């Protein structure tokens, strides 16, 4: 007869499992609470698309119990996770008008307007579908950067980003890189918000942080070599 052995690490995991479950459910519950306070029913999802290609078969629950409330919260979470990809799907067959590297970021576009008076926002994919999917909706990281790189170039960009985070992660693991550790949170923020928008490069605070930390990370190893010479 087989005997189930519970290892020390397994026992530790079982002890913290309730805490991990609570940490997982708490932000989702908070989202559900916010949506319920706004009176957000599931019919809102269909109304966001004027062309009528979003439909909802589920009805809004009464929120009278735990499971009903979290069902409501998870449906809203799912909507927030996928609406950017729906916006991206609307641009796949459109013509690209190059935005000179400024179409992926509202911040960069504002600087271009300030310096040159040129506004490229009307050239973006998002402007082309504004009648069907407004600026208030999410368009995803991919849809934003498609303005500057096109769809083929977007694939190359994603490989470059993947390579960058991999060597940054490796520098933390093998070299205990200080600036690599500083970059990992901003990469996490970027990846988590891929379904939403270009969060990191869209604002001066996160953009400047990413650029400065990347520069310091790049020269970190070189500085160490110079100091040892």
194 and 169 in a common domain: yes
149 and 224 in a common domain: yes
What pLDDT sits at residue 39? 76
Least confident span in 2-6, 92-96, 98-102, 172-176: 2-6
DSSP for 45-74 reads HHHT-TT------SPPP---SHHHHHHHHH
> Can you say whether the dihedral through the CA atoms of 206, 187, 139, 57 is positive or negative?
negative
- Residues 101-115 as b/e (b if ≥16 CB within 10 A, e otherwise) read ebbbbbbbbeebeee
What pLDDT sits at residue 6? 58
64 and 120 in a common domain: no
Average pLDDT over residues 14-23: 82
What pLDDT sits at residue 19? 85
What's the DSSP call for residue 96?
P
149 and 61 in a common domain: no
Q: Is the pLDDT of residue 9 over 80?
A: no
13 and 41 in a common domain: yes
CA distance 105 to 159: 20
- Looking at the chain, the number of H-run helices and the number of E-run strands are 8, 0
Shortest CA distance to 84 belongs to which of 197, 164, 190, 162? 197
Dihedral angle at the C-alpha atoms of 189, 194, 156, 180, nearest 10 degrees? 10
Average pLDDT over residues 108-132: 92
Domain boundary among 89, 121, 140: 89
Q: What are 190-214's pLDDT values in tens digits? A: 999 899 888 899 899 999 999 999 9
> How many domains does one find in the chain?
2
Domain boundary among 52, 68, 89: 89
Contact 201, 157 (CB under 8 A): no
Query: How far, in Å, are 26, 44, 57, 84 from residue 38 at the CA level?
Result: 19, 11, 21, 21
Residue 135, Cβ neighbours under 10 Å: how many?
A: 11
What pLDDT sits at residue 2? 47
166 and 66 in a common domain: no
What pLDDT sits at residue 24? 83
Shortest CA distance to 194 belongs to which of 146, 129, 134? 146
What pLDDT sits at residue 1? 45
End-to-end CA distance of the chain: 65
pLDDT category at 5 given cuts 50, 70, 90 is: low
What pLDDT sits at residue 164? 96
**164 vs 56, residue with greater confidence:** 164
CA distance 151 to 120: 18
The answer to whether residue 57 is domain-embedded is yes
pTM of the model: 0.81
What's the DSSP call for residue 58?
S
Range of the domain at 47: 7-89
Domain boundary among 62, 89, 116: 89
Q: What are 52-100's pLDDT values in tens digits? A: 788 888 788 888 888 999 999 999 999 988 999 999 999 999 999 989 8
Q: What are 178-194's pLDDT values in tens digits? A: 999 999 999 999 999 89
Q: Is the pLDDT of residue 224 over 60?
A: no
Q: Token match 């008076």: residue? A: 117
**115 vs 12, residue with greater confidence:** 115
The answer to whether residue 2 is domain-embedded is no
């Amino acid at each position: 007869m087989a005997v189930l052995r519970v290892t020390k690490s397994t026992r530790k995991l079982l002890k913290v499992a309730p805490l991990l479950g609570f940490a997982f459910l708490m932000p989702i519950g908070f989202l559900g609470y916010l949506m319920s306070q706004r009176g957000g029913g599931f019919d809102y999802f269909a109304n966001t698309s004027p062309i009528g290609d979003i439909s909802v078969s589920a009805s809004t629950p009464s929120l009278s119990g735990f499971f009903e409330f979290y069902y409501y919260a998870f449906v809203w979470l799912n909507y927030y996770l996928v609406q950017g990809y729906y916006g991206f799907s609307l641009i796949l067959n459109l013509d690209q008008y190059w935005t000179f590297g400024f179409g992926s970021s509202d911040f960069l576009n504002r600087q271009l307007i300030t310096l040159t008076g040129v506004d490229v926002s009307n050239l973006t994919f998002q402007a082309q579908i504004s009648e069907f999917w407004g600026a208030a909706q999410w368009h995803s990281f991919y849809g934003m950067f498609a303005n500057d790189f096109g769809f083929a170039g977007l694939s190359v960009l994603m490989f470059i980003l993947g390579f960058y985070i991999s060597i940054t992660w490796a520098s933390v693991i093998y070299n205990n890189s200080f600036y690599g550790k500083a970059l990992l949170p901003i990469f996490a923020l970027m990846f988590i918000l891929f379904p939403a928008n270009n969060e990191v490069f869209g604002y001066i605070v996160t953009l400047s942080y990413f650029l400065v930390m990347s520069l310091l990370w790049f020269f970190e190893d070189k500085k160490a070599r110079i100091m040892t010479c």
